[in-house]
Chain A
């Protein structure tokens, strides 16, 4: 299981939890599982999210591997200047 930290305003779609656990070994599986387990997150995931894995930010990268001990933080998709 991977513990995923979500940002505050998404908690209303995860029964108030700031961290949820899902079975996933990569970014794609993680997003699919989150959408499945917490349908309220789906619109945000479809709009785009970034993923911080052990402090590194990934913008898409489905097949980025996630270890069981990895720190996983969901973040809004970012665009810059």
Chain B
């Protein structure tokens, strides 16, 4: 195994493209190091991207924020601006691991690890966040929702890696929230999770919504039917029931050591309901 600390993104992409063996990006390292320890990956090259200029920066851009791929959860949590604009995204990132893991783990790493239970991803998906990707053939932008391809898999090509994630501006009276279920209060992987982002009109009626579920399908799942169920409502009981049902219907989870199909299906709906109510209140709505 070789360890490299390139000075630029293009240099990093180049060395990964040229390496015939397995390569791994090291940003926070909280997933890669565990995989190395378990011996289930044996990369030929580890590329530390933390020293590439800009990758540890949070930069205001077009009313939103560009978040460098090496920004840790703890650093993101300290950014009052991002939290004010996208509180649900920040709370998702903050739920990744312990305080110690927060000191290292990154939003981009959480995305590129490809876990269907990744805490950062449902919020990013409902935010319509865009990842900037650098590869041997240059730079491209891609919706975060289009990056996960299945457990442990992404749509990134050989040599490509995420350099930043852009959280867009959003209209007034918008709010988002993320909730997950874990057996303990901390330190677990989500058994099911839900993110809801919505925008209200002046009367408190939902005019735009997005609902995404985690850990209930091979990738984080956007549930348009759940969003439709609440658009045009003030989250009355009937709307909530319809949204919950749409969420449960969208689930195709597995039975494993962390939870059953039945449990995940039911709890995903419960979490979506609770997240929607929080997002609604963050958007300034009163029911």
Let me know if chains A and B touch directly in the complex, using CB atoms closer than 8 Å. no
